[in-house]
Amino acid sequence: MAPSFDDASSLFNFVVHGGNGIKGMVDLGLKQVPQAYVQPPEERIHKLDAHRHEQPPIDLSMLDGPDRDRVAQQIVRAAETLGFFQVVNHGVPLELLESLKESAHGFFGQPPEKKGIYRKDVSPSPLVTYGTSFAPEKEKALEWKDYISMKYTNDADALQYWPKECRNVSLEYVQSSTNMVRKLMEILIGHLGAKLDDSMIDALIGSKMVNMNFYPACPNPELTIGVGRHSDLGSLTVLLQDGIGGLYVKVEEDVDFATKGEWVEIPPLAGALVINIGDTLQILSNGKYKSAEHRVRTTSASSRVSVPVFTMPKPTEKIAPLPEMIEKDGVARYREVVFADYMKNFFGNVHDGKKSLDFAEIKV
Ligand SMILES: O=C(O)CCC(=O)C(=O)O
Ligand SMILES: [Fe+2]
């Protein structure tokens, strides 16, 4: 049954419990966003205020040539400053990037019954969750985003349990991006002076999850957000965004950029992938690498899709600053945490900037 858009609980039942998502609501011919989606003024995004981050993408094919050290230095520098960078010649086939975007549109374009079967409480597999916003039960204002989340355990499980509309491309994406993630991790961890072996990298990226995010065109983009301010919890995130734009990163105050303290937009670049540092690498590096605070704007122009792969430690893994970093800094800024506990805290709270790191931070 169609909801009354003015009645919060009827709307919530339709969008969240009913599995219709924001897409279902928009398809009913919504002219104005319901109050449940109106953000407080301090969270709204003023499009014209933001700068574009004009850093050229990093060409990863050069890691195999004579310029390796220079390119590795660019990666390290990006991790130490913005925590975000874009890469090209990354080894993920360009046709696959196109197929991923198409299949995200295809998945969300289906009728609600097809998507709703993957809702958290009813999904046939714990690996797959379809939902909307981030923590709808807890948020004061909902985020303007529907998503499907697919945990990767192994190829056979992915082929068996992931939705058939997106499983082949999503699996190929995980497989083909893993090589690049390993190379980036080797550079980043190697730079911290840690003794590096394959088992250490395996431990840090031992679990992976692919999401397809769908941000329907929004009648009041100035009042809403696609994703609220947050940092990602894992090691590295690989993100495919389409050409719509709207991904913003906060430049930290202690960074030597003209735009410090401001939000900059990571502009869409055809064929590129966005890489960002997650909380795990900030903890491991004792704060040297920045797990960037980021958020996503909505737009009335058309719907936007993005497809992140989150690489994370296995839940049983313990994460802590590397001994080499503690020795160098003379202080440990984070305590050791079991990654399962870190995740529980992350997913148990609403998006609130870099607050997720408080769970591990040692306050002085
Ligand atoms: O849609 C995007 O560009 C970013 C999404 C994001 O930050 C996330 O899924 O964690
Ligand atoms: Fe994110």
199 or 104, which is more confident: 104
Give the tens place of pLDDT for each residue, 169-197. Answer: 999 999 999 999 999 999 999 999 988 88
Q: Residue 303 C-alpha to ligand 1 middle, in angstroms? A: 14
Ligand 1 atom index nearest CA of 266:
3
Give the tens place of pLDDT for each residue, 305-339. Answer: 999 999 999 999 999 999 999 999 999 999 999 99
Q: Residue 294 C-alpha to ligand 1 middle, in angstroms? A: 8
**Which residues lie near ion ligand 2 (Cβ < 5 Å)?**
232
Ligand 1 atom index nearest CA of 247:
3
Q: Is the CB of 213 under 6 A from ligand 1?
A: yes
pTM over 0.90: yes
The structural architecture, per CATH, of the domain 9-359 is Sandwich (2.60)
CA of 307, nearest ligand number = 1
Q: Residue 330 C-alpha to ligand 2 middle, in angstroms? A: 31
Pocket test for ligand 1, best of 279, 294, 346 (most atoms within 8 A of CB): 294
Average pLDDT (245-268) is 89
For the chain, the structural domain boundaries read 9-359
Q: Is the CB of 304 under 6 A from ligand 1?
A: no
Q: Residue 184 C-alpha to ligand 1 middle, in angstroms? A: 20
pLDDT confidence tier of residue 235, bands split at 50, 70 and 90: very high
Q: Residue 231 C-alpha to ligand 2 middle, in angstroms? A: 6
Q: Is the CB of 211 under 6 A from ligand 1?
A: yes
Q: Residue 157 C-alpha to ligand 2 middle, in angstroms? A: 25
Tell the residue nearest (CA) to atom 9 of ligand 1. Answer: 308
Average pLDDT (14-26) is 94
Beta bridge partners of 146: 132, 214
Pocket test for ligand 1, best of 208, 239, 354 (most atoms within 8 A of CB): 239
pLDDT the model gives residue 55: 87
CA of 227, nearest ligand number = 1
Q: Residue 308 C-alpha to ligand 1 middle, in angstroms? A: 7
Complex ipTM, two decimals? 0.99
CA of 303, nearest ligand number = 1
pLDDT the model gives residue 53: 77
User: Chain-wide mean pLDDT for the chain?
Assistant: 94
Q: Is the CB of 308 under 6 A from ligand 1?
A: yes
pLDDT confidence tier of residue 49, bands split at 50, 70 and 90: low
1 has pLDDT over 60:
no
Give the tens place of pLDDT for each residue, 83-127. Answer: 999 999 999 999 999 999 999 999 999 999 999 999 999 999 999
